[in-house]
Structure 1
Amino acid sequence: MNTITVYRLGRVEYEDGLNLMRLFGDARRKGLATDALLLLEHPPVLTLGRGAKRENITASDERLTQEGVELFETNRGGDVTYHGPGQIVGYPIFLLPDSRHDVRRYVRDVERSVMGTLSEWGITAGPIPKWPGVWIGQEGAPDARKIAAIGIHISRWLTSHGFALNVNTRMEHFRLIVPCGIREAGVTSMQRELGHAIPVADVEESLARAFCSVFESERAEPAPLMRTVSVAVVRGHGAEAQVLLVRRRPERGGFWQILTGRVEAGESPAQAAARELEEETGLRLPVVDLAYRHAFAVGETLPPVLAEEHGFGVRAPPDTSVRLGPEHDAFEWVDAPTALERLPFRGLKETVRRTVSNQTT
């Protein structure tokens, strides 16, 4: 029997999600991993499929910036789609067997999996043939509304991208676009239909069961995620704020970053952040929890090694003296825009943004 490993990843930055699909796809193609179902949430982002029309983004670039919504072009099918907190995004990375070499069947099976999940919550939904996705209401009805978007990519029968199910999604953000280019109907969420917030974790469990049933597979659990921390050290306020960047030694990559490290056994993330701060800079200062956790793949290893990172910020006095630890060979204090330009990973940038924002309040 086929096996699906179900990963429940929490927040994943969108570009990290694209990287996860690539790595899991490579691992599956090479026989280094089972089929995988990645369940996650993205920060606010608009994604443009291969058939997208720019006029279906109704908001200006300035409005998107104000709302904290990013924009990405993708290789999936479909038009423009919104992702954001409270929405479960599912990326099935399946190598379809010969018996399932049928694109329409695959799309129907993804729809069936989502519909089966909704039925567990008492929500009756189904497809509307002329429009992609999963819908409540009938074609032509004035109250027809989409509850899940479907946008897939298949290359040599390896699937990627997938679906986005609105659970407790911020529905106001859908006003920034014409969802999937469909002007004749609306959008909805499980919360809106049921009148109360829904535990996302419970819906993820329902989705895992439904996909394993529809795709006739056993469920496997992944290895625990590596636990890591990132620490942004900032001095000054507002436009005068400066961020401490440290350069990894050549054998460790040679790139500029903020402080990072693993959470050791028996440590809390805050304890790990304080330890990394002292070991890598010689500083003993309070660390502030930024309420920022996200998952990502570490390096290019196949099968992927996954980490969940917890972000912290540190306020340093103007005369701070830095003593580098063994992992880095140089440091600089730079303004926030320069730091964001130099940092190689989206998660590190978000840690800096949150720390600088905290410094200005």
Structure 2
Amino acid sequence: MNTLTVYRLGRVEYEDGLQLMKLFGEARRQGLCGDVLLLLEHPPVLTLGRAAVRGNVLASDESLAAEGVELFSTDRGGDVTYHGPGQLVGYPIFLLPAHRQDVRRYVRDVEQCMHRTLAEYGLSSITIPKWPGVWLGPADSPEARKIAAIGLHLSKWLTSHGFAINVNTHLPHFNFIVPCGIREAGVTSLRRELGREVPLSEVEEKVARHFADVFELQLVEPAPPTRTVSVTLMRGQGPDARVLLLRRRPTRGGFWQIVTGRMEPGEAPREAAARELFEETGLRAEVLDLDYRHAFAVGNTVPPRLVEENAFAARCPDLFEVRLGDEHDAYEWVDVPTALERLPFKGLREAVGRAVRLRG
């Protein structure tokens, strides 16, 4: 029996999710791993499939930016859809065996996993041939409402992209779009249908089990991710605010970053952040939790090396002189727009943005 490794990643920036799909897909293609199911949450984002009609995005770019909603074009099937916190997104990275190499069967199997999961909550879901996704209520009725979206991609029987179940999703964000181009019906969530908050981890467990059963795979535990921290060190206020950027030595990539580093065994995230701040700059200071933890892949290795990072911020005294550690060969204090332009990774840019908002 082939294996299925399920990664429960928590928050993943959308562009980082695309990179994870790419790297795991290459690893699966090369036989370096078995089938993989990535379970995660995205920050608010609208994604446009290959069949997307731009007019189905109802909000202006300015309105989306004001709400912190990004916009991405993708190679999945379908029209426009929304991802956001409280929604369970799943990306199956499967190399379909010969007896499963049928596109319609693959779509039906993914739908079956959704039906079985929802049935455990007492919900009888259906598919509607003319509309993609998984639905509640009778077809061809004003009561029909979508609870799960499906947008898949296959290339030489390697699958990517996947599904999104509305668990505790902020449903008003769907007003920014015509979901999947369907104007005749609405959307719903487990929370709305059950009248209570539903733990995402609980839904993850059920989805993983049903994918293993439907696709006849043996569940195996993943290796734990590397735990890291980041610290946005700032000085000044308002338009005079500056962010410290450190340049990694050429042998370590040569790019600019904020303070980052690994957590030591048994170390709490806040302790690690304070230690890394001192080791990389020489500053001992209080670090503030930015309530931002996300997962991503470091580098372009196949299979990917997964990292889970907690973000912090700290204030630097005006007269403090930075003392570089061994990992970096230069530093600069730059304004916030410059910092956001130079930082190569979405997670680091998000950490800086949160630190700026925290400081007012």
Kindly provide the amino acid, as one letter, of the partner of residue 347 in structure 2.
Answer: G
| Structure 2 match to 1:228 | 228
Query: What letter matches 1:191 in structure 2?
Result: R
2:253 counterpart of 1:253: yes
Letter in 2 for 1:65: A
Q: How does 1:185-264 map to 2 (within 5 A)?
A: 185-264=185-264
Match of 1:294 in 2: 294
The DSSP-based 3-state class of the residue aligned with 2:231 is strand
Is 1:97 paired with 2:97? yes
| Aligned equivalent of 2:83 | 83
Q: Please say if 1:326 is aligned against 2:326.
A: yes
The one-letter amino acid paired with 2:238 is G
Offset, 1:138:
2.1
Deviations 1:275-309 (A, max 9, x none): 11001101011100111000011111221111100
Moved over 6 A (4+): none
Aligned residue in 2 for 1:36: 36
Check whether the contact 1:256–1:343 (CA below 8 A) recurs between aligned residues.
yes
Measure, in 1, the Cα distance between the counterparts of 2:320 and 2:135: 57
2:316 aligned with 1:335: no
For the residue of structure 2 that corresponds to 1:123, the secondary structure is coil
Q: Conserved in 2, the CA contact under 8 Å of 1:128 and 1:138?
A: no
Corresponding position of 2:61: 61
Are the counterparts in 2 of residues 249 and 328 from structure 1 also a CA contact under 8 Å?
yes
Which structure 1 segments of 5+ residues have no match?
A: none
> Which residue is 2:184 aligned to?
184
Report the more deviating stretch, 224-233 or 296-305.
296-305
Q: Tell me, in whole angstroms, the C-alpha distance in 2 between the residues paired with 1:122 and 1:209.
A: 17
How does 1:62-141 map onto structure 2 within 5 Å? 62-141=62-141
Q: Look up the match of 1:175.
A: 175
Residue correspondence of structure 1 range 300-319 to structure 2 within 5 A: 300-319=300-319
Superimposed CA distance per residue, residues 66-113 of structure 1 (whole angstroms, 9 cap, x where no aligned partner): 100000000000000100000000000000001011101100100000
Which residue of structure 1 aligns with residue 276 of structure 2? 276
Take 1:316 and 1:355, find their aligned partners in 2: how far apart are those partners?
A: 13
More deviation, 117-126/157-166: 117-126
Residue 315 of structure 1, CA deviation: 1.3
- Taking structure 1 as the reference length, the TM-score comes to 0.99
> Within 1, Cα distance between the matches of 2:68 and 2:124?
33
- Quote the Cα distance in structure 1 between the aligned partners of 2:319 and 2:67: 36
- Measure, in 2, the Cα distance between the counterparts of 1:221 and 1:238: 47
State the match for 1:356 in structure 2. 356
SS in 2 for 1:326: coil
Deviations 1:165-193 (A, max 9, x none): 00000001000000000000000000000
SS at match of 2:222: coil
Partners in 2 of 1:318 and 1:78 — Cα distance? 53
Q: CA deviation at 1:319?
A: 2.2
State TM-score, norm by structure 2. 0.99
Deviation at 1:321, TM superposition (A): 1.4
Number of aligned residue pairs: give it. Answer: 360
> 2: distance between equivalents of 1:279 and 1:2?
45
Are the aligned partners of 1:230 and 1:259 in contact in 2 as well (CA < 8 Å)? yes
User: Given residue 272 of structure 1, which amino acid in structure 2 is its aligned partner?
Assistant: A
Contact kept, 8 Å, 1:11 with 1:40, in 2: the verdict is yes
CA distance in 2, matches of 1:238, 1:173: 30
User: What is the distance in 2 between the residues matched to 1:238 and 1:82?
Assistant: 33
Superposed displacement of residue 237, structure 1: 1.7
Q: Is the 8 A contact 1:6 1:222 kept in 2?
A: yes
Q: Secondary structure at the match of 2:139?
A: coil
Task: Answer yes or no: is the 8 Å Cα contact 1:230–1:309 preserved in 2.
Answer: yes
Please identify, of 312-321 and 217-226, the stretch whose mean Cα deviation from structure 2 is larger: 312-321
Distance 1:89 1:230 in 2: 25
Amino acid at match of 1:133: G
1:25-70 C-alpha deviation (Å, 9 max, x unpaired): 0000000001000000000000000000111000011110110000
3-state SS, counterpart of residue 119 of structure 2: helix
Question: Structure 2: where are the runs of 5+ without partners?
Answer: none
Displacement after TM superposition at 1:320 (Å):
2.5
Contact 1:23 1:304 in 2 (8 A): yes
State the shift of 1:318 in Å. Answer: 2.2
Distance, in Å, in 2 between the alignment partners of 1:133 and 1:62 is 29
Percent identity of equivalent pairs: 69
- Whether the aligned pair in 2 keeps the contact of 1:315 and 1:359 (CA below 8 Å) is no
The one-letter amino acid of 1:143's match is E
